[in-house]
Structure 1
Amino acid sequence: MAFHTRSNSFPSRPHPIVQEVEEHLCRLRSSEATSTSSSPSISHKLSGLQELHDCVDRLLQLPLTQQALAQEQNEKWANEILDGSLRLLDVCSSAKDVILQTKECVQDLQSIIRRRRGGETGGLTSEVRKYLTSRKMVKKTINKAMGSLKAIANKSAFSSLNKDHEKLREVEAVTLAVFESLLSSISEPKSKTSSWSLVSKIMQSKKVACEEEAEANEFAQVDAALNSLIGHKTSKSQHQNVDNLQNQLNKLESCIRDQEEGLECLFRQLIKTRVSLLNILNQ
């Protein structure tokens, strides 16, 4: 893919789409370095990723790009591009599974709270504990997905590409960084995070220095409300904490819905890009 222009087979000036890819990369890198782990921030990054991969798909439609892919000496490069697109689809699919499991946990707890009769809170504590157990299962799924991210980083993706094609490596690295942000925000919403920690090997760059304490996101707020509910035994305090929990769950459900929609749109875009690659290589 003609991301840079030092090769004699490419024009002397970069195509506007190449510049657009770089602009999207810059915005996403800046967002990863400075933004919080809040759900609106993650949703914004997912939207940015979709725009980035739409640019990549349009870049694939350029005649020069297709000619470069069709050249016999670029067969290894083409195979690595296909492998990279499949890796991103696998990670995105895992992220979708995590969001679905989390949504089901939240909906189950909301349903239990709504079924309370006359405002009675008896037995609710045990149901909260069941929710927390379900959250542990979600975290196991997240740990598995994070393990996949580590494996990708250790492979040093696109290691055989020359400097003309390193932009594609950056596209994959930024995409994986956003996925890591998403998974970390769900699993450990109060921890310090650096979304470049697992993908720095791909980027072959230094770890982002900015590692500020993440603001409490919607997942952390729900966890705090649950712990508060369990910790208060009096009827009056439980009623107050149930009301707070309901509010926090409503906010979390809305954020999960936004992230679910963002992942679905991104997943469709990744599929579209892979289909474009396969069509070009099969010509």
Structure 2
Amino acid sequence: MDSFAANQKKSFHIRSNSLPSKPHPVVDEVDEHLCRLKSSEATSTSSSLCQKLDGLQDLHDCIDKLLLLPLSHQALVDNESVDDQLEGSLKLLDLCAMAKDALLQTKESAHELESTLRRRRGHDIVGDVQKYLNSRKMIKKAIHKALKGMERSKFPKSDESSEVVGLLKEAETVTYNSIESVLSFIAGPKLPSKMSGWSLVSKFIQTKKVVSKDLDTSGNKVEMVDAALYSIISHKYDCIVQVEDVQILLKKLASSIQDLEEDLESLYRRLIKNRVAFLNILNH
């Protein structure tokens, strides 16, 4: 009887192991955050970028919990592409650091120009405006060079090794795309040195209307400031956008940058924390 009971218990144990295992709640949580972030990848206003960065912070908080699970430890130790993941996490940190620097430079230039315009009311400001635009050109050049030099890896979902590895690769791709959106937002669109008269006028009249109505909550404030300043350079004293309008735009730009800076800094700290956790797993 004892032998029969033992065999029956053993048989039941084997059948139980053959049943499909239910995903860990943290795995489901990471997957949900990824789905939400991928659905918002097309948006690129300052407010939507802040929401995206907030979502990334939540995602990496979940990844931090995911990395604490024993199943994640085993999956990462057995992962053959672990070196690629380590390199990818380092690239994300570099890209995030660059975005922080570009935001800081843009904010400082905006503060300096706004202060100059306030002090030199009624004086020739073309030189000061040109100084800001030259700074913007350097920032744009650095961003475009960095993005061009970054080799974007393909991170398909893991089909045989581990769902955890697949989620980590997806998170890396989504994070890269989001930070790239921030950099593209900072760089703004390319404005040709010579625009046709009517297109220039239309561009800056539209900017002036937005400033006057205070409806620029959804617009690209970097683009709007650039457009207004190019108006001053192009028309000199007979400019469409007045100095007061430019000051308003510069203040709003600085405020938007401040929000993005705070979110990027929080994300940067989470990326460092997750990389440290990843390294600790591999070193044990």
TM class, shorter-length: 0.7 to 0.9
Q: Secondary structure at the match of 2:152?
A: helix
Which residue number in structure 2 is paired with residue 78 of structure 1? 82
Tell me the number of residue pairs that the alignment of Structure 1 and Structure 2 aligns. Answer: 240
> What is the match of residue 227 of structure 1?
230
Residues 1-283 of structure 1 aligned to structure 2 (within 5 Å)? 12-33=21-42, 35=43, 37-70=44-77, 74=78, 76-116=80-120, 119-120=121-122, 122-149=123-150, 151-153=151-153, 156-157=154-155, 162=160, 164=162, 165-189=165-189, 216-234=219-237, 241-283=242-284
Cα distance, 1:126–1:242 mapped onto 2, change above 3 Å: same
C-alpha separation between the residues in 1 aligned to 2:170 and 2:19?
A: 20
State the 1:234 CA deviation. Answer: 4.5
- Residues 10 and 47 of structure 1, relative CA distance in 2, 3 Å threshold: farther
> Given residue 180 of structure 1, which amino acid in structure 2 is its aligned partner?
E
Residue 41 of structure 1 aligns with an amino acid whose one-letter code is: S
1:208 matched residue in structure 2: none
Give the direction of change, closer, same or farther, for the CA distance of 1:109–1:146 in structure 2 (3 Å limit).
same
2:106, 2:20 → 1: CA distance?
48
Could you say what the CA RMSD is over the residues aligned between the two structures, in angstroms? 2.7
Aligned letter for 1:59? L
CA contact (8 A) 1:186 1:219 kept: yes
Look up the equivalent residue of 2:179 and give its one-letter code.
Answer: F
1:226–1:43 Cα change, 3 Å: same
Q: Is the 8 A contact 2:53 2:263 kept in 1?
A: yes
1:84 and 1:126, CA in 2 relative to 1: closer, same or farther beyond 3 A?
same
CA displacement, residues 186-222 of structure 1 (integer Å, 9 cap, x when unaligned): 213479xxxxxxxxxxxxxxxxxxxxxxx74101111
Q: Supply the distance in 2 between the matched residues of 1:103 and 1:63 (Cα, whole angstroms).
A: 44
Change (3 A) 1:134 1:233: closer
Kept in 2: contact 1:21–1:52 (CA 8 A): yes
What is the letter of the counterpart of residue 274 of structure 1? R
> 1:231: Cα distance to partner?
4.0
Structure 1 residues 13 and 160: CA distance shift in structure 2, 3 A: closer
d(CA) in 2 for partners of 1:282, 1:163: 20
- Are residues 281 and 246 of structure 1, via their aligned partners in 2, closer, same or farther at CA, if it must alter by over 3 Å? same
Distance (Å, rounded) in 1 between the aligned partners of 2:74 and 2:131: 57
- TM-score, length-normalised on structure 2? 0.76
Distance 1:160 1:64 in 2: 15
Change (3 A) 1:93 1:233: closer
